[in-house]
Amino acid sequence: MENIIDEANRCLNCKVKPCQKACPLGNDIPSFIKQVKENNLEEAFKILTQTTVLGAICGRVCPHFKQCMGSCVRGIKSEPINIGNLETYVFDNALQNNYKIETNNKLEGKRVAVIGGGPSGLTCAAFLSMNGAKVTIYEKQPKLGGITRYGIPDFRLPREVIDKTVEKILSLGIEAKCNQTLGKDYELADIEKQYDAVYLSFGANVSSKMNIPGEDLDGVYGGNELLETGIHPDYTGKSVAVSGGGNVAMDAARTIKRLGAKNVYVIYRRAREQMPAEDYEVEEAMKEGVEFLFQNNIVKIIGNEKVEKLECIKTELVQKEGEKRLVPVNIEGSNYTLDMDYIVMAVGSKANKDVVEKTGLETTEYGNIKVDERYMTSRKGVFAGGDLIGTKATVAWAARSGRNASEEIEKYLLGEE
């Protein structure tokens, strides 16, 4: 506790609040830290729950240096305030002491279905329930949590933290129906008849492909699917390449190394400083023996039925007109091959096309569900958010999408649209 107070006391309580502006959820960071300074942790929790219910999770896994901590004034001349640790401490303490989340009866009598129990769905359900709505979450997995439970490894986010967070959210009076898959166990049309509004948030967890020769060979896997199912091949003594530079790539590489792979390579076509993953995650992966091949690109997967080699090419970063950042361009003649047993694609994700089609809703050119500025889909009373509509793929941004959607659903239910 002493270290927490010491860290809180370093906060300058800036009036312009650059950290809050950089937080996807808009958490009032200086105000909650002020309460931590005064050892008023329940009040700090009360301030944070005005904007988030996932503090115990976000405090641990958010890319803080790219968000709140990256804008901390203290960081200009010294180390920024460790906002993630402070948020984690406040929420862990609240869960341990069973602090209550404030509620009202504004939406009493209204019934809402939330399809998908990940960060976006949980946040939307929580804020609607906090305002008095009766909410039911439908989830295809055995437990709620979505990407936090079935995408982020336990060594980064303990399952106990997810369990306690979900329990706190459900304590608002939310009903959870797990092992329920849209289009298999129920249809959207039937749900629409039973509820006053529906929120779709079943995510976009299908790994994208690179569209290169050899991607259909045995031994090519999607990073999202490996992390979600936990079903892996035997990596013992094997060489594995992970293509990509984001959180999924880091989590997959570190997981595979821990499962006994002899060599794990992360192949990324840009420079290290351009990686979406947090720098500390890259450093942790390096400490664990993961090798990084920056400014390299995979152009072909070679093998007879199964993966045997990768053909790669080196890249240079070029400033192109109309582009905000440097663009990787293949260097002609720099091709080389690597012996490889498995290749994991972690170059992005997309929504499950089959499930999206079963909704009968209008989609975008990228296969996401199309929504208007109110988060409403092409059918009245049906809303969508999170990765399903193309939101930035972080827990905090998904949660922000869910909170924003809850506000629009509230207006719709109260006839204020």
**pLDDT at 391 (0 to 100):** 79
Q: Domains of the chain by range and CATH?
A: 2-97 (1.10.1060.10), 111-204+351-413 (3.50.50.60), 208-348 (3.50.50.60)
pLDDT of 413 reads: 97
pLDDT, position 417: 64
Confirm if 204 and 364 have CB atoms less than 8 A apart: no
For residue 173, the one-letter residue type is: G
With H, G, I as helix, E, B as strand and everything else as coil, classify residue 12.
coil
Of 275, 276, 285, which is closest to residue 252 (Cα–Cα)?
285
Report pLDDT for 321: 86
Predicted confidence pLDDT, tens digits, the chain (417 residues): 669 999 999 999 998 999 999 999 999 999 999 999 999 999 999 999 999 999 999 999 999 988 999 999 999 989 999 999 999 999 999 999 999 999 999 999 999 999 999 999 999 999 999 999 999 999 999 999 999 999 999 999 999 999 999 999 999 999 999 999 999 999 999 999 999 999 999 988 999 999 999 999 999 999 999 999 999 999 999 999 999 999 999 999 999 999 999 999 999 999 999 999 988 899 999 999 999 999 999 999 999 999 999 999 999 999 988 888 899 999 999 999 999 999 999 999 999 999 999 899 999 998 999 999 999 999 999 999 999 998 777 899 999 999 999 999 999 999 986
Predicted local confidence at residue 38, as pLDDT: 95
Please give the pLDDT value at position 53: 98
- Rg of the chain over CA atoms, in angstroms? 22
* Residue-wise DSSP of 140-151: SSSSS-THHHHT
Matching residue, tokens 């109110």: 374
pTM comes to: 0.94
pLDDT at 371: 97
Question: For position 1, what pLDDT does the model report?
Answer: 67
Residue 315: Cβ-neighbour burial (10 angstroms; 0-12, 13-18, 19+) = buried
Return d(Cα 385, Cα 403) in angstroms, integer: 9
Write down the pLDDT at residue 323.
86
